[in-house]
Every structure is written in C-alpha cells, then in structure tokens.
Amino acid sequence: DTAVSQTPKYLVTQMGNDKSIKCEQNLGHDTMYWYKQDSKKFLKIMFSYNNKELIINETVPNRFSPKSPDKAHLNLHINSLELGDSAVYFCASSQDPGTEYEQYFGPGTRLTVT
C-alpha cells in the first residue's frame, strides 16, 4: 500500500487553465504539506495543514489554493496557470507539526504548462 499518493502523476496543460492535484495519505498522520520543486531541483514548502487547518502559508501567489477536506487528504487547486508554474509538486505528511517529526513524500505530480 502506498503511504502518500498523488494524482495525477503527470499534468500537461495550457496557460490560463485551472487544474487540481490531489493527495492522500494512509499513515494516520495529522499534518500534510505541499512542496514545489523547480527545474533547478530546489525543493520549497508552499503550504501546511494540521487536522484540516492551514498552519503554514508561504509566499505563494493567491492563484494557488489548498484545501483539506479531512486530515488524510490535501488538494491543491491552481487558477490561471502560468509558464512559471511548471514544476514537480510534492505532497508530504508527518505525524505532527512539531519540528522533530519526520516528513514522508508522495511520488510527485509533474506539471507542464505550455
């Protein structure tokens, strides 16, 4: 069984479109995250949710809107896609938002905006 799963794995779309990425974890963790890895492979946090509540919101354009329907699911909706949004988006989860808890990553969603 996959611990942290994401759909879709690949997403190719045109500028201006709206798209969503979904994430699910079956680890029983309370905290979930969205990270973006750009073309230079630099991995940076975007959002974090703890028990459906947004706790970290980094400097991300408001075209990006996360939603957590329950603590096992975290979705990312992106409006008006731009070329610069092309990247790999990783979902991750941890038991607790405390600094000592390890984070486990999903397989990633490679988004290509043309």
Residues 40-69 that bind other proteins (CB under 8 A): 40-45, 48, 50, 55-58
Q: How far is the CB of 114 from other proteins (least distance, A)?
A: 20
102 sits near other proteins (criterion: CB under 8 A): yes
Residue 100 backbone class (left: φ over 0; alpha: ψ -120 to 50; beta: rest):
alpha
Residues 76-95 that bind other proteins (CB under 8 A): 90, 94
Q: How many CB atoms lie within 10 A of CB 40?
A: 5
97 sits near other proteins (criterion: CB under 8 A): yes
SS3 85: helix
CA distances from 65 to 18, 39, 75, 100 (A): 11, 22, 8, 27
- 27, 77, 108, 112: residue in contact with other proteins (rule CB under 8 A): 108
Q: How far is the CB of 92 from other proteins (least distance, A)?
A: 8
**HSE-up (13 A, CA, CB side) for residue 93:** 25
39 sits near other proteins (criterion: CB under 8 A): no
- Kindly list the residues in this chain that would bind other proteins in the complex (CB under 8 A): 31, 33, 35, 40-45, 48, 50, 55-58, 90, 94, 97-108
